[in-house]
Each structure stands twice: as C-alpha cells, then as structure tokens.
Structure 1
Amino acid sequence: MRILLDECVPRPLRRELTDYEVRTVVEMGWSGKKNGELLQLMIQESFTILLTTDQNLRYQQNLQQAGVAVVVMVASSNRLPPSVRSVLATMAPGVVVEIADF
C-alpha cells in the first residue's frame, strides 16, 4: 500500500507510518498541484491512499472514479490520531474517511 501525504499534512507523520510506503507531495515534486491533477498523478504512480486535512476534497472531486482512498484528518494537533492505523488497513478505492478523534 502506497500512501501520499498531502502538502497540508506535517511531514514528520510519516515516521509514525513505518508499516507503509509513504511519500510526500513535496518529495514527489508535486507541490502546488490542483486536486484533480494530484489524483491523476497518484494513479500514475500507484498510490492507493491520500492522507490530507482538506475537508472539501470529497465535494470537489469524484473520488470513486479516481480510484484512490482518502483519509481526512480534522486535526487540532500535528500528531497522528491512533485510529488512523486501523482505518488505513481497511481502506478501499473511492472511500473517504474523516478522522477527528483527539
């Protein structure tokens, strides 16, 4: 499973996801890309999950058609919510899960 951390997600969170292959938008060279283009790039590079804080993404893009899963973190801190790991294990393409357990 390949996970992409959106620009709005603190990069140090990748250290908490050592069981997965995790890349950031910045390290992929995709900084500043609009959501639609970012989703296309994700598909081309075989990413399966986008980890973001963008609560509007699900309303702006057809995620079912894009074929990627999205985890939206509604954060009051920059720590990874404990439930993210269990959610990641059950994600399927086109699914959006919002996590706000702080």
Structure 2
Amino acid sequence: MLLDSNLPRAFATLLPGHRTHTTHQRRWSDLDDGPLLDAAEQDFDALMTMDQNLRYRQNLQHRRLRIIVLRAKRNSLPALAPIAPAVLAALAEVPAGELRILSV
C-alpha cells in the first residue's frame, strides 16, 4: 500500500500485515495525480490519501489500484487513529479499481 504525502508516515504502524511505503520514501512527493497513480500501479495494489478531489480530477475507471480516501479534521496520527480498523476492513473488501471514502 502507498500512503500519499498528506498522511503521516506513522499511520502505517496502525495497519499490521500490510507492506506500506510513503510517496516521500519512493521520492514521488512531487508527482501530480496522474503520474502518481501510474507509478503506484506498478508496485502497489492500494493508495491511501486525504485528497478529497482525486476522484473528480482523475478518471479512475480503468485503474487497478484500490483507493482509500480518508476524511478527518486533521491529518495527524491522533486524529486518524480511530479510522484504522475501518481502513483494514476496507483493504480486505474493496476490489481493485474502486475508491472508498472513510470518515472519522
């Protein structure tokens, strides 16, 4: 799974059993949405982001990535921690190519 740059790296510790990297670790922080999705599809099966507008700016219809969009008041670990169980459940059930929005 790839964590977008708008999520704290430490959020990955709340997702046991998933190989998680950040866009920063992959040196993809400067990529725009389309190139980021293209790059992510080469190595990952899911992208997690707080970018609420991704679904409006990109045609996601033919993507293989599962995209999990988190909605929270802040992108801090304490604000996002309560949503971790829902993220784990979504990763288990969302099929490839779909987007799921999860709110805290």
TM-score by length of 1: 0.89
Residue 27 of structure 1 aligns to a residue whose secondary structure is coil
> How far apart, in 1, do the equivalents of 2:82 and 2:30 lie?
24
> How far apart, in 2, do the equivalents of 1:90 and 1:8 lie?
24
Aligned residues: 98
Tell me how far 1:41 sits from its aligned partner. 0.3
C-alpha RMSD of the superposition:
1.2
Q: Which runs of 5+ in 1 are unaligned?
A: none
Q: Does 2:70 align with 1:68?
A: no
Find the counterpart in structure 2 of residue 53 from structure 1.
50
TM-score by length of 2: 0.87
Give me the identity figure in percent: 34
Residue 79 of structure 1 aligns to a residue whose secondary structure is helix
> How far apart, in 1, do the equivalents of 2:40 and 2:81 lie?
24
> How far apart, in 1, do the equivalents of 2:58 and 2:69 lie?
14
CA 1:35–1:73: 2 relative to 1, 3 Å? same
**Amino acid in the other structure paired with 2:80:** N
Q: Which runs of 5+ in 2 are unaligned?
A: 74-78
- Decide which structure has greater helix share: 2
